[in-house]
Amino acid sequence: MSTLFIEKYKPKSLSEYLDQKEATEKFNTWLKKFIKGETSKPALLFGPSGSGKTLLVELEAKELGFELVKIDPVSISSFEELCRALSSTLTSTSLFGSQGKIILIDEVEGLRSLFPRFISFLIHVIEKSKYPIVLIANNAYALGLRDIRLKSETIKFRRIPKPTILHYLKRVVQLEGGHVDNKILNAIAENAKGDVRAALNDLQSILLYKTQIHARDIKIDVFAAINKLLRAKSFEEGLRVFEELEIDYPLLFQWVAENLPLIYNEPRGLVMAYEKLSKADIFLGRIKKEGNWSLLKYFFDLMFGTVAFVSVGKRKKFIPFKFPTYLKKISSSRKDRGEEKELVAKISSKCHVSSKKVISEYLPFIKLLVQKQSKYRKEVINYLSLGRDEVKKLIHLS
Question: Which CATH class for the 20-156 domain?
Answer: alpha beta
The C-alpha atoms of residue 392 and residue 398 are separated, in whole angstroms, by 12
> Which tens digits make up the pLDDT trace of 68-98?
988 876 567 678 888 888 888 877 776 554 5
- Tell me what pLDDT residue 228 has: 62
Tell me which DSSP letter residue 74 carries. G
The C-alpha atoms of residue 199 and residue 184 are separated, in whole angstroms, by 11
pTM: 0.53
> Which tens digits make up the pLDDT trace of 135-157?
998 888 877 888 899 999 999 99
Angle at 205 between CA 202 and CA 211, to 5 degrees: 115
- Tell me what pLDDT residue 33 has: 92
Tell me which DSSP letter residue 46 carries. E
- Residue 227 predicted with pLDDT over 80: no
Q: What is the mean pLDDT of residues 100-106?
A: 88
Judge whether 121 and 133 are in contact, CB under 8 Å. no
The C-alpha atoms of residue 388 and residue 370 are separated, in whole angstroms, by 11
- Tell me what pLDDT residue 56 has: 93
Identify which of 157-166, 181-190, 229-238, 381-390 has the greatest average pLDDT.
157-166
- Tell me what pLDDT residue 241 has: 61
- Residue 196 predicted with pLDDT over 80: yes
Query: Is 1-10+160-215 assigned to CATH 3.30.70.240?
Result: no
Distances (CA, A) of 336 to 194, 339, 363, 387: 19, 5, 17, 16
> Which tens digits make up the pLDDT trace of 348-367?
888 888 888 887 778 778 88
Task: Transcribe 341-395 into DSSP letters.
Answer: HHHHHHHHHHHTS-HHHIIIIIHHHHHHHTSTT-TTHHHHHHHHT--HHHHHHHH
- Residue 209 predicted with pLDDT over 60: no
Mean pLDDT across the chain: 78
Task: Transcribe 288-348 into DSSP letters.
Answer: HHH--GGGHHHHHHHHHHHHHH--TTB--S-------HHHHHHHHTHHHHHHHHHHHHHHH
